[in-house]
Structure 1
Amino acid sequence: MKRSVMFLLASLVATPLFAADDLCTVNLKKLSDYKATASTLGQPLLDQIRDTRIEAQKAQAAGDTQKCISLTNKALQDVVNSQKGH
């Protein structure tokens, strides 16, 4: 019984970590996709996206998922704002 409870608790604790890592990966993919559609974005923003993507990939490789998510969320928001004309 103790093993079952411990396994259940361990899986519940680990689930958010996998979800966070997935969000980092998804956001990095979105940034790569924006780079592929460069004609709709200006060069300064493309440079900023590239630099942020590189920094986020380094954070992900170092195991700092929260930093990766924070960086990519900000870059994605910048893209959305530029498309709205802000």
Structure 2
Amino acid sequence: MKLSAIAGLFIAGALLTSPVFAADKDLCAGNLQAIKDFVTSQPSLPESSMNNIKADQEKAMAAQAAGNDKDCVEITSGLMTKMQIRNPTRN
């Protein structure tokens, strides 16, 4: 009885963690698109800021390509915060 209960917990845990990984993948892609939109809508950004954004964007895309959605989300979330500070009227 205990063995089947433990097995049930492992199965339930595996099923519950799957959507979390899918959410990271979607968040990564969404953040990358928002960053791309921000860059194209802000032509007056200083060159140094633009270079920093593009460097982080490339790191995030490399993480995404490697299947490391957690790192992609961390990098893009940091960029999103900086973008919000730079342009607080954006939602």
Determine the structure 2 residue equivalent to 1:12.
Answer: 16
Offset at 1:53?
Answer: 0.7
Q: Root-mean-square deviation (CA), in Å?
A: 2.1
Offset at 1:17?
Answer: 0.7
Unaligned 5+ segments in structure 2 are 1-7
Letter in 2 for 1:28: L
Q: Indicate yes or no: 2:29 matched with 1:35.
A: no
Unaligned 5+ segments in structure 1 are none
Separation of aligned partners in 1, 2:70 and 2:34: 17
| TM-score under structure 2 length normalisation | 0.74
- Within a 5 Å distance, the mapping from 1:1-80 to structure 2 comes to 9=12, 10-80=14-84
Offset at 1:44?
Answer: 2.0
Separation of aligned partners in 2, 1:79 and 1:33: 11
* Bigger radius of gyration: 2
| TM-score under structure 1 length normalisation | 0.77
Task: After the TM superposition, list the runs of 4 or more consecutive aligned residues in structure 1 that deviate by more than 3 angstroms.
Answer: 8-11
Offset at 1:40?
Answer: 4.8
Aligned residues with identical type, % of pairs? 24
